[in-house]
C-alpha cells in the first residue's frame, strides 16, 4: 500500500496513533467510561426530547429502562471531544451505547492498517449492536465533534427485551431496520459517484429532518475524507461533485455547510424509489 493510499484513510489522533490498539488499552478506556457516570442531565435530556418527538429514538427507549429515569435519570454517560473513541475494535463489549448528543463515525481497521468508514451515527442511535454475538466490538467508534454517549449494560438490554412490554417488538424492529439500511447501502455498490453522493446527502438530510431540524440546510459533521472513505470515492471526486452539484443549482456548498436547493433533482440523481422512507 502506498503512502498516497494511506492518506485517504482515517488519521488517528496522536494519542491513539498506534498501529494496532491492544485490547488491553481499549478495555481500560471502557473502564474510564464506566467511572464517568452520574453526569449532568440538563443537556442530555434536550436531544432526547427531539428524538421522542420523532417517536423512534432508541436512546429514549434505553433511558426509559434505566432505574429512576423519570425524576433524575442516573445515566452511565460519557462526554467525548472530537477524535476521542467510544470504543475500539476488538475490545470486550461492556455495554451498548446510544448517542445522546453530537455525532460519531463507525469504522473498521483492515489488515494493512487501512480503514473503512462504515457509518455515521447521530443522537438517538445505538452503536455497539454488532458486538452482541461475539461480545467483542467488531468496529471502532470515534466522535466527530463534542459528543455524549450513554451506556446501557447488556444485561439491562436483555431484560428489557425479554420482560418489558413491547421490548421484543422494539428490538425486532431495530434489527430489521439495520438490515434494511444494509440493503439500501448495498445498492450504492453498483452506483456511480454522483448517485452515491446525492444519496448520502439526502439520507443525511432525512436524518436531520427526523430529528426536528431543517432538512434542506445542515452542516456535515464529517470531513471530506470521511465522506469519500465511506462512499468508496477519492476525496477529490467528492470535492469535484460538490462543486458540480453547486454549479448545477442542486445545492449550495459553503465549507461544511450544505443547503439543498433542488431536492427533487437530487432525488432523481440518487435514484430513490418513492416507497422509501425518504419519500
Partner DNA sequence: CGCTAAATTGAAACCTTTCAAACTTCGTGG
Partner DNA sequence: CCACGAAGTTTGAAAGGTTTCAATTTAGCG
Using CB under 7 A as the binding rule, whether residue 255 contacts DNA is answered as yes
Q: Which of 3, 67, 133, 165 binds a copy of itself (CB under 8 A)?
A: 133
- The end-to-end CA distance of the chain, in Å, is 41
Cell of 12: 488517528
Neighbours of 103 (CB within 10 A): 20
Only segment of 55-63, 123-131, 203-211, 220-228 that touches DNA (CB under 7 A):
220-228
Burial of 225 (0-12, 13-18, 19+ CB in 10 A): middle
Only segment of 22-30, 57-65, 181-189, 253-261 that touches a copy of itself (CB under 8 A):
181-189
Binding mask 197-236 for a copy of itself (x = CB under 8 A): --------------------------------x-xxx---
Do residues 136 and 90 touch, judged by C-beta distance below 8 A?
Answer: yes
- φ/ψ region of 102 (left if φ > 0, alpha if ψ in -120 to 50, else beta) reads left
Using CB under 7 A as the binding rule, whether residue 138 contacts DNA is answered as no
Cell of 221: 459533521
Cell of 50: 427531539
35/175 with CB nearer a copy of itself = 175
38/179 with CB nearer a copy of itself = 179
Please name the residues in contact with 162: beta carbons below 8 A apart, sequence gap of 6 or more: 168
Look at residue 251 and give the partner it binds from a copy of itself, DNA, none, a contact being a CB closer than 5 to 8 Å depending on partner kind.
none
CB of 145 to DNA, least distance (A): 10
Q: Which of 149, 233, 251, 272 binds DNA (CB under 7 A)?
A: 233
Tell me how far apart the alpha carbons of residues 79 and 88 are, in angstroms, rounded to a whole number: 16
Look at residue 237 and give the partner it binds from DNA, a copy of itself, none, a contact being a CB closer than 5 to 8 Å depending on partner kind.
DNA
Q: Which of 37, 40, 112, 256 binds a copy of itself (CB under 8 A)?
A: 112
Using CB under 8 A as the binding rule, whether residue 18 contacts a copy of itself is answered as no
- Contacts of DNA in 139-198 (CB under 7 A): 190, 192-194
> What is the CA 107 to chain-centroid distance, rounded?
10
Using CB under 8 A as the binding rule, whether residue 189 contacts a copy of itself is answered as yes
Look at residue 256 and give the partner it binds from DNA, a copy of itself, none, a contact being a CB closer than 5 to 8 Å depending on partner kind.
DNA
Interface residue list for DNA (CB under 7 A): 2, 4-5, 8, 11, 190, 192-194, 223-225, 232-240, 242-243, 253, 255-256
Amino acid at each position: 500500500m502506498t503512502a498516497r493510499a494511506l492518506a485517504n484513510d482515517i488519521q488517528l489522533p496522536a494519542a491513539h496513533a498506534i498501529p494496532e490498539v491492544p485490547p488491553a488499552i481499549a478495555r481500560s478506556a471502557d473502564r474510564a467510561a464506566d467511572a464517568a457516570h452520574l453526569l449532568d442531565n440538563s443537556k442530555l435530556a434536550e436531544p432526547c426530547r427531539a428524538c421522542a418527538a420523532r417517536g423512534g429514538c432508541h436512546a429514549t427507549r434505553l433511558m426509559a429502562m434505566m432505574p429512576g429515569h423519570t425524576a433524575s435519570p442516573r445515566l452511565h454517560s460519557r462526554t467525548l471531544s472530537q477524535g476521542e473513541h467510544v470504543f475500539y475494535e476488538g475490545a470486550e463489549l461492556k455495554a451498548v451505547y446510544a448517542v445522546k448528543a453530537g455525532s460519531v463515525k463507525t469504522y473498521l481497521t483492515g489488515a494493512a492498517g487501512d480503514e473503512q468508514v462504515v457509518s455515521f451515527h447521530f443522537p438517538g442511535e445505538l452503536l455497539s449492536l454488532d458486538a452482541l454475538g461475539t461480545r467483542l466490538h467488531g468496529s471502532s467508534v470515534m466522535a466527530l465533534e463534542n459528543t455524549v454517549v450513554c451506556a446501557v449494560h447488556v444485561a439491562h438490554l436483555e431484560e428489557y427485551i425479554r420482560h418489558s412490554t413491547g421490548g421484543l417488538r422494539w428490538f425486532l424492529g431495530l434489527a430489521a431496520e439495520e438490515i434494511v439500511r444494509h440493503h439500501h447501502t448495498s445498492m450504492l455498490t453498483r452506483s456511480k459517484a454522483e448517485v452515491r453522493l446525492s444519496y448520502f446527502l439526502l439520507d443525511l438530510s432525512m436524518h436531520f429532518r427526523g430529528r426536528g431540524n431543517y432538512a434542506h440546510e445542515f452542516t456535515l459533521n464529517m470531513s471530506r475524507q470521511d465522506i469519500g472513505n465511506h462512499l468508496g470515492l477519492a476525496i477529490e471526486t467528492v470535492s469535484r461533485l460538490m462543486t458540480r452539484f453547486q454549479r448545477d443549482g442542486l445545492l449550495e456548498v459553503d465549507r461544511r455547510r450544505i443547503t439543498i436547493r433542488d431536492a427533487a433533482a437530487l432525488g432523481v440523481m440518487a435514484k430513490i424509489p418513492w416507497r422509501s422512507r425518504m419519500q
